[in-house]
Chains A and B, each alone.
Chain A
Amino acid sequence: MEKSGKVTSSRAAGFGIPFARAGLFFARLVLAGVFIFAGAAKIDDPGQFAIEVQRYQLVPWKVCAGIAIYLPWLELLSGLCLFLKSLERGALVLITLLLSVFTLALGSALVRGLSIDCGCFGHAFVSTGTVVPILRNLLLLLFAGALWTKNR
């Protein structure tokens, strides 16, 4: 019974269905692409990114500076590791956690009426506000959820 359940679940996850496999590949590509791009875009100017983080008014400056130095590299590595079989699930843990934290921070800025940009992609995109990035993050969390289902 259990064995047949496993077979059904694995099929449902898409291994036997080209369409589902393509969907999962697309989800992985988008997640990895967004994280690699977000990290790379901010590595160039951590000083400016620290100011973007400070605008959320959630943590003191020194923490903002630390985040600005560390986070872009973490995003870049997490995106890259999503393509490595041996580190894929760890990258997925980090990406899911990061997306959740980012969404909470954006939500808190929205609730407090802060007129700020997301700061997610450095200078690459400005005037994005907070609503669009929240919706984007929720979509990315759905993609991450789909990859979790496949990895279960």
Chain B
Amino acid sequence: MKPVRQAVLILLVALIPAGVTAVVHPRRPPWSGETLAPGEEKLKTVLSWGSNALWVDARSRPAYEAEHVPGALLLNLEEWDSLFPRFLDQWSPERKVVVYCDSKSCEMSHEVAARLERSGFSSVYVLKGGWEEWKKAAK
């Protein structure tokens, strides 16, 4: 059999388990679209990073002091200059920075993430759903 025919055969055979996956796999992707904005990350993914994730709370100080993700650092635009050195102490190149604010609709986490990226940090992510999502999962 010619190589192209062999390749087509393999392509067709792969359709069978893929078809079964599309129908019965418990973790199959939804067709309707679970879209993440550029730089956004799902809570489930961030949790899989474990201690490799450096949590950054981009909300106001009162909100942070009331409650926050365990181990999260406060870093918001209002107090950037005073809070940034503490972030630098905790940051290391192999850690992934995960910024969150209140909910899906708040923009502060995106702004803090953008500022970190402009400062030269890579692997900066925004938690999709923010603090609201964390609370929901913690219940």
Contact = CB atoms under 8 A, between A and B. Distances in A.
Contact of A93 (B7, B15, B25, B35): B7
Given A47-B27, A69-B28, A70-B18, A55 B10 contact: no
Contacts of B70: none
B117 interface: yes
B88 interface: no
Given A89-B3, A90-B4, A115-B124, A44 B27 contact: yes
Interface stretch (A2-10, A17-25, A74-82, A136-144): A74-82
A91 interface: yes
Decide if the interface of chain A is mainly helix, strand, loop or mixed. Answer: helix
Nearest to A115: B122
Contacts of B48: 123, 126
Interface residues of B, number: 41
Given A74-B14, A90-B5, A61 B33 contact: yes
A77 B16 CA distance: 11
A70 B14 contact: yes
Contact of B29 (A43, A47, A55, A93): A47
B21 interface: yes
Contacts of B7: 90-91, 93-94
B11 A94 contact: yes
B36 A43 contact: no
B62 interface: no
A77 B18 CA distance: 11
A59 interface: no
Contacts of A48: 27, 44-45
Given A68-B29, A87-B9, A90-B5, 15 more contacts: A46-B27, A47-B34, A48-B45, A51-B42, A65-B29, A65-B30, A69-B22, A74-B11, A86-B1, A86-B6, A89-B6, A92-B3, A114-B38, A126-B48, A126-B49
Closest 8 A/B residue pairs (Cβ)? A90-B6, A50-B29, A89-B3, A90-B7, A65-B29, A70-B18, A61-B33, A93-B7
Interface of A: 43-51, 54-55, 57, 61-62, 64-65, 68-70, 73-74, 77-78, 81, 86-94, 114-115, 123, 126-127
